[in-house]
A and B are shown apart, each in its own frame.
Chain A
Amino acid sequence: MKQFLSFVRKEFHHIFRDRTTMAILLILPVLMLLLFGYAINTEVKNSKIAVYDPSNDSYTRAIIEKMDASEYFSVVKMLKNEQEMSEQFKNGEVKMVIAFSENFHENLLHTGDAQIALIADATDPNSAKSVVNYATAIIAGYQMESQHLQQIPFQINTQIKLLYNPQMKGAYNFVPGVMGMILMLICAMMTSISIAREKEMGTMEVLLVSPVKPAMLIIAKTIPYFFLSLINLTTILLISVFVLGVPVVGSLFWLLVLSLVYIFVNLSLGLVISSVVNNQQTALLISGMVLMLPVIMLSGLMFPIENMPVFFQWISQLIPAKWYIIGVKKIMIKGLGFSAIIPQLTVLSGMAVLLVAISIKKFKYRLE
């Protein structure tokens, strides 16, 4: 026990001595959250749109007003003819053009064949998609309102209800993602680097000759990073609740349990990496390429997994962060309980057991 404590104390010394790294580790989550929260904003606000309205009746004017009044759009131009439309896009002045068919209101009442064309600049497909969605929602909303005034039979009534995230805030998506990324970064990357450093400096040799048991060495290595990741977890949750306004709807307890299991998976991942590399640079590269990239690209943090080719969907199943992020969303955003995260907990625990087994086996092999 005394052996163990002196080991852990030494590890903490390493971390506190290296103030730059420690500062980065503590500030990184804050920076990432704020960056995702404010700079990389996938929400669409005040998009400039132009309108082509040949019918110019009460109904179309009302829709245009609604658009302009919403926070998503501002109508910057009324177009006189169809030719002007393509010019608008070429100049890049507007994100979308709304074109009404002629005699809109009349046709709507009598033939039911009134049309609106939403033409969007899809050079940025994501924002084009959201612009179109917002516009559709506003039009549908207006339609519903006006129906209360005049009863029209045989009309399909579309009701849109956005569950869990009614304001469509991007933060609801990226807070769990950032949690998955940061915890992995701290645990896997830092653990692997700290063991690789012992090998590089030659101190590992001395530790192996000493009476320290390999298992103890491994556990003592991971403890400081375990604490550091708990601090980060707290920071992330505080910022997300009080700054970004993303509440923890479900049980905080299960969120912590899930996070602990995930932290454990990543610590053991760091151990596995450190058992195959011999210097810090390689450890950093492997954690960077093998861990970070897939988490960013394939975990569902940036791009929806359902849209990926089947091959990549399979690969995404192997990424711990993917399971963690889904679990966090279930608890934090949807407010679901323990039963909902059983699959995620099971998979992550399985991964943890497997990785620990591999790392211990690898470590022993090295001793032979």
Chain B
Amino acid sequence: MKKVIEVENLTKAFGRFKAVDQISFEVEKGEIFGFLGANGAGKTTAMRMLCGLSIPTSGKAIVAGYDIRTQPEMIKKNIGYMSQKFALYEDLSVAENIRFYAGIYQVPEIEIAPRTLELLNRLGLENEKDSLVKALPLGWKQKLAFSVAIFHHPGIVFLDEPTGGVDPVTRRQFWEMIYEATDSGITVFVTTHYMDEAEYCDRVSIMVDGKIAALDTPANLKKKFEANNMDEVFYRLARNASRKAD
């Protein structure tokens, strides 16, 4: 399988504090990679480095075929990103939001109209095209945000706690969308707090104190830690953490 993320001894230090301490892992194309860890474990810092927002102190990482140290601009063009805050403009209509993101990701002009139509059909939002985003229910906003994040057909999409504050049914539907996206070859890199979601991932890494404490498929992890579910796995690893959650 083709590797789309290759991380080797990646470290980020703020003074003497190592937020991320020599982590190494690989993510394959089309995989759903769960990136777990308690608050303060270093997830966000690691993710920021992979998105080209922060320069590592040492170590190296290749994302979508580009070095995060020397080619952050190329990485930015080839990834999608969605955060817990939905990152759509509430005072813009659905169509205007799509138009804006298509513009900043430089989607070719002739592609925009057909892709927009396809997106709206898929989400069942045809009639809401000109509604302001703030008028949409939370679940729809979130699906729209995800669809917008992959509108420019990135190789990898980073999801930073995408389902925070959403009810279980909507979360389930959201994961169905993620599966659909991976069918078309997109790699999904997702951080989450919900352990039931960790079960949906192909592989899961769990960060503790800036290091990767475990990395395997959910099934193997459960077997290894003799746990019934991912919640127990996580608890066993995280309770030994020396860093206090913030």
Contacts and interface: CB of A to CB of B under 8 A. Distances in A.
Interface of A: 2-3, 5-7, 9-10, 13-14, 17-18, 201-203, 205-212, 367-368
A206 B85 CA distance: 10
A210 B55 contact: no
B103 A2 contact: yes
Given A205-B83, A205-B87, A212 B104 contact: yes
Given A5-B103, A7-B103, A211-B104, A13 B83 contact: no
Contacts of A207: 104
Contacts, number: 80
Contacts of A205: 81, 83, 85, 87
B79 interface: yes
Nearest to B84: A202
Given A6-B100, A17-B92, A367-B53, A210 B85 contact: no
B225 interface: no
B86 A17 contact: no
Nearest to A207: B104
Top 9 closest pairs, chain A to chain B, by CB: A6-B103, A202-B85, A209-B81, A206-B87, A211-B76, A17-B91, A10-B100, A211-B77, A209-B51
Given A2-B106, A10-B89, 13 more contacts: A6-B99, A7-B103, A10-B103, A14-B92, A17-B132, A201-B90, A203-B85, A203-B89, A209-B79, A210-B104, A211-B77, A211-B105, A368-B55
9 contacts: A3-B104, A10-B92, A14-B92, A206-B83, A208-B53, A209-B52, A210-B104, A211-B77, A367-B53
Contacts of A10: 89, 92, 96, 100, 103
Contacts of A6: 99-100, 102-104
B196 interface: no
A64 B100 CA distance: 74
Q: Give the dominant DSSP class at A's interface.
A: helix
B76 A209 contact: yes
Contacts of A209: 51-53, 76, 79, 81, 158
Contacts of A17: 91-92, 132
Contacts of B103: 2-3, 5-7, 9-10
B104 A14 contact: no
Contact of A211 (B73, B84, B91): B73
B160 to A, nearest CB: 8
B9 interface: no
Contact of B87 (A3, A7, A203, A211): A203
B85 A368 contact: no
B54 interface: yes
Interface string B99-114: 1111111100100000
Nearest to A206: B87
A8 to B, nearest CB: 10
A130 B79 CA distance: 70
Nearest to B103: A6
Contacts of A2: 103, 106, 109
A305 B51 CA distance: 52
B76 to A, nearest CB: 4
Among B87, B105, B132, the one with the most A-chain Cβ atoms within 10 Å of its Cβ is: B87
Given A13-B91, A209-B51, A368-B54, A7 B104 contact: yes
A334 B81 CA distance: 57
